[in-house]
Structure 1
Amino acid sequence: MATVDLNADLGESYGRWQLGDDEALLRVVTSANVACGFHAGDPATLVRTCALAAEQGVSVGAQVGYHDLAGFGRRFVDVSPDDLYADVVYQIGALDAVARSQGTRVRYVKPHGALYNTVVHHQGQAAAVVRAVSELDPTLPLLGLPGSVLLDLAEDAGIPTVREAFADRAYTDDGTLAPRSEPGAVLHDADEIADRARRMVVEGVVETTSGDTVAVDADSVCLHGDSPDAVAAATAVRAVLADAGVTIRPFA
């Protein structure tokens, strides 16, 4: 029987600006990619999110990103490897302190937004992320796109890797995510998202923007918490996978 983790990006509200329904999503997902304050998430939001995750038994991951609040971490930043290394160490350490104060801890690391897409192919930035995790805690798994430079370097460094698929994002024929600037790059229909998740996990394929299919390896399926349809989509995904006989549990 197939086993998979369901993850979502959470803790992304900032002060009076509320984004997503963390409480509802934490009743559905098994892993929470929690913002670390660089792309989103003020300290009070991170405390609440970690407390709710601990209450629901959801694994907390540090979602590290570029120092880009205004752009929500979705703009490429040409940061030096040494500075990126320091940024990643800082973010993981800060979130782990928050998590421990609420009875849990950081159990894995996932890059966010533009950084996530950049480390698919950017050797220098991927190496900086891997170095940060390796020197901080090499037992922390790195969550990323299959075939990425990030996961290749992490495996070489002896860091556990977790292959991720995106049920609510469009894929290109080379197995990467379609840029958000393209029409249809983000999916919103809960039934469509759930069926894509089922095909990813059970059949190991996903339909691309051209109508073709590409193979995917999914240890964890991501649903974006900032989408207005996130709770409905996550609920539908969990139900469809359960009906297909898939065991849903955290990887960490």
Structure 2
Amino acid sequence: MKRLLCGSLLALTVFLAACSASDISATPAEKEEIKLEMESSFSTNAEGVAIVKGKTNKDASVSLGILNKVDVSPDGSFEKEVTLKSDKAVTKELTVKLDGEKVKKEITILPSSEYAENIQKGSEDDTQDKSADVAEKEVKSVEETFKDSVSQKVKLAKETTVNGQFGIKPYTANITMTSLGGFTNKSAARNYLLNVKEAISAVKAIDFSDYSNVRINVKYPFVDSYGNEDLAYVIKTSFSKDTLDKINTDNLLVKNIPTIADEFWSHPTVTANLPQ
């Protein structure tokens, strides 16, 4: 009986010890409190880069914004570069997670005065560049339109060059053609005038309302007594916008060109053979 009682007491003692150990192991470990030390705003440098930094628990994970993980040093310190795209302040959310808990903090990235000035200056430079590009394209467009028309209309010239002032209104243009000449002096003189007529048609085919004057010149190679060839002017003309407005190239007779041009000059050998 005595042995039985002792055995029961021993079993009860073991049972109570086991229950006590079970209660201790079932008690959850106390969670570490999340600590976060950092400023609420950060300023950029002159290049628009701000260093966001702070300190938290060494085992915590930190993210800035969406999917922007921030590395945490063994001592819990962290930092992350943030670049502004404009001179406007930006608000971002920083999140610290530890043991299933998390803490969020809103921070503001402020543009420094140096960066704001650089942005403003860059914007002004871009505006000036864009204005210059637009102006250059407009000049090219005007010049190319003029040259294209001359290229399409002038067919009786061996070579044609076009230059002028196409940047500022009113525009001026110069058309110079190397003529194919003719079999005789008279046919050559007539062909020189036909060159001028074709050039007039080219000008009339475009909107020439912004042109004040167009010079149309013709050259032809002369050969001297020694056999040397010299490309010389045979006809020089000048037409104002008002005169060009009056001309109807469909009915224009080449013999009238010397009289309707605002300015007309011909080489002496040509003058004698101009059509009457």
What's the TM-score bracket when you normalise by the shorter of the two chains? under 0.3
- The structure that is strand-richer by fraction is 2
TM-score scaled to structure 1, two decimals?
0.25
TM-score scaled to structure 2, two decimals?
0.23
User: Which protein is bigger by CA-based radius of gyration?
Assistant: 2
